[in-house]
Amino acid sequence: MTETIWWKSGTVYQVYPRSFQDTDGDGVGDLAGITARLDYLAWLGVDAVWISPFYRSPMADFGYDVADYCAVDPLFGTLSDFDTLIAEAHRRRLKVILDFVPNHSSIAHPWFAESRASRTSPRRDWYIWRDPAPDGGPPNNWLSNFGGPAWTRDEATGQYYYHAFLPEQPDLNWRNPALRAAMHDVLRFWLERGVDGFRVDVIWHLIKDEGFRDNPDNPDFAPHQPGINRFAQVYSCDRPEVIEVIAGLRAVLRAFGERVLIGEIYLPIERLVAYYGPDLKAADLPFNFQLLETPWRAEAVAALVAEYEAALPEGGWPNWVLGNHDRPRIAARVGPAQARVAAMLLLTLRGTPTLYYGDEIGLGHVPIPPDRVRDPWERNEPGHGRDPVRTPMQWDDGPGAGFSAAEPWLPLSADADHRNVEAMRDDPGSILTLHRRLLALRRDHAALSVGGWRGIELPPDLAAEMFAYERFAEGATLQILLNFGADPRAVPLGEDEWEVLLSTRPGRAGERGRGPFPLGPDEGVVLRPETSR
């Protein structure tokens, strides 16, 4: 029997709600805007939409600082807007995944106000408070991911609180059972409203070393890196006890049926796969960010895929990510020609793909003038800010690119007049059409959505610039050939007749032939051998 659980066979599309669609004319996207664009998502052919945080928040980190886990921030609308969104999504057979931010709250959360009020407050232990070091300084050497120390001293009680991110984002204490129970209730609140799963923010951070030991030096630290990399984060995160906490979250979800738990985890493969948990009882999909970190070279990507496939635990379902709201846009990293090859890679590898909004129209790096910088990380550590990857979706060539009637909160890309959905949707050569065809192909071929994967062995001269593999299910096999280079290649495939199901170059679908396959520069193809017709 072919596995058909939606989060295995489907594609996830990430929406950054500030930047998808504004309906109330304030230059910032909102929930009603997402609802208004659901027809687009259904047309595109994705299966689930993951929405970055829209909870009540002072927006110090644009919603990753939550002041009320069960309320919609007025900037984005109301709970009733949310109920409409989910009903309309489900009507179109789209699943809705929320962003759950359990590692830290906002400093404005009432829990923190109570916790900070006194050393004996019943909620004191819901956050992480420590006495100063003997010299009065921070309790240990842990650093903030956004620059500077991870400890802030609170004058009233003389202790420091820990924050892995901004001082406005105090870390919650997941060793405390009452905090855990309160957070489980938050999950139930949204599950009861019909959400289909959660992407859990920095899930590998939830538990810190019990002894708060100093992190060791990172011998590979280079000055161009963010300051956080000065130390290897072995004690501040990725502690073994976290797996049981994640299993607890997943158990809450499973009581509601087949809801998905996706964990945000920036760790190397050998550590990442531990997050499936014993008997696959922790994260359903530990986010695989390896494509964000691997150099865009055929051999490096081929080695990565083989390593990841080999490392997965028995029954653990793979997943792939090419972009998100924290990392450079794929089109900016690899250029427009290779961005098409990258789209084919993402949507033909084995495992659930997550597509970042705007990547389907090839949005690149949008320069942000100094007076428009919004990301606090850019202010703390210039050059590391994430505004350039969070700019508004471009829908048409009207004012504000159809995103907003007002000045958008971040600038549009300079080519918005032609890099937009309206201009690209009927263009057979556009990257948007390519995405739509790839998504349709995944739906039509079980080999692509749920089938197996194996690498195709290439002669060394081809392997340097090409990555090739097969996907197979129910007796059918498809071949995927990806040219990472700018030279044409003749790829030996045996004597069978081949048929092009889809190419990154328009106009080749349906082409048939025998003998070596003529692969163009920067071209990717999905082929069907005659034996699989």
Residues engaged in binding ligand TEU (CB under 6 A): 61, 64, 101, 145, 165, 201-202, 264, 266, 325-327
Place of tokens 């049926």: 257
The least distance separating ligand TEU from the CB of residue 382, rounded to whole angstroms, comes to: 15
The least distance separating ligand TEU from the CB of residue 223, rounded to whole angstroms, comes to: 16
Residue among 26, 20, 15 at smallest CA distance from 402: 20
As beta bridge partners, residue 498 has 513, 529
The least distance separating ligand TEU from the CB of residue 204, rounded to whole angstroms, comes to: 9
Buried b (16+ CB within 10 A) or exposed e, 42-68: eebbbbbbbbbbbbbbebbbbbbbbbb
Judged by beta carbon, residue 195 or residue 267, the one nearer ligand TEU is 267
Give the Cα-Cα-Cα angle 184, 189, 191 (nearest 5 degrees): 90
Residue 112, phi then psi, degrees to nearest 5: -70, -40
Judged by beta carbon, residue 151 or residue 498, the one nearer ligand TEU is 151
The least distance separating ligand TEU from the CB of residue 227, rounded to whole angstroms, comes to: 11
Residue among 349, 429, 350, 431 at smallest CA distance from 394: 431
The least distance separating ligand TEU from the CB of residue 478, rounded to whole angstroms, comes to: 33
Instruction: Write down the catalytic residue from 22, 47, 65, 201.
Output: 201
The least distance separating ligand TEU from the CB of residue 164, rounded to whole angstroms, comes to: 8
d(CA 151, CA 139): 8
The least distance separating ligand TEU from the CB of residue 346, rounded to whole angstroms, comes to: 18
Judged by beta carbon, residue 170 or residue 402, the one nearer ligand TEU is 170
Residue 24: both structure tokens together: 């109330």
**Residue 110: how many CA atoms within 13 Å on its side-chain side?**
4
Residue among 338, 358, 445, 297 at smallest CA distance from 37: 358
Task: Tell me the angle at which helices 177-192 and 242-254 cross, rounded to the nearest 10 degrees.
Answer: 30
Judged by beta carbon, residue 101 or residue 195, the one nearer ligand TEU is 101
Instruction: Write down the catalytic residue from 22, 168, 238, 264.
Output: 264
201 an active-site residue? yes
Judged by beta carbon, residue 30 or residue 61, the one nearer ligand TEU is 61
Residue among 244, 111, 228, 239 at smallest CA distance from 171: 111
Judged by beta carbon, residue 116 or residue 325, the one nearer ligand TEU is 325
Residue 456: both structure tokens together: 């195709």
Q: What strands lie across the sheet with 129-130, from one edge to the other?
A: 129-130, 160-162, 151-153
d(CA 500, CA 264): 36
Contact 214, 137 (CB under 8 A): no
Judged by beta carbon, residue 266 or residue 356, the one nearer ligand TEU is 266
The least distance separating ligand TEU from the CB of residue 229, rounded to whole angstroms, comes to: 9
What is residue 482's three-state secondary structure?
Answer: strand
The least distance separating ligand TEU from the CB of residue 269, rounded to whole angstroms, comes to: 16
> Letter for the amino acid at 397?
D
The least distance separating ligand TEU from the CB of residue 86, rounded to whole angstroms, comes to: 22
Contact 293, 299 (CB under 8 A): no
d(CA 98, CA 49): 8
Judged by beta carbon, residue 262 or residue 416, the one nearer ligand TEU is 262
Residue 110: both structure tokens together: 């009432």
Judged by beta carbon, residue 233 or residue 503, the one nearer ligand TEU is 233
444 an active-site residue? no
Eight-class DSSP state of 467: E
C-alpha dihedral, 159 to 162 to 168 to 171, nearest 10°: -120
Judged by beta carbon, residue 266 or residue 276, the one nearer ligand TEU is 266
d(CA 509, CA 320): 26
Pairing label, strands 160-162, 498-503: unpaired
Kindly write down the DSSP assignment for every residue of 359-400, as one continuous string.
GGGT-------GGG---HHHHHSTT---GGGSPPP---SSGG
d(CA 153, CA 139): 10
Q: Which residues are catalytic?
A: 201, 264
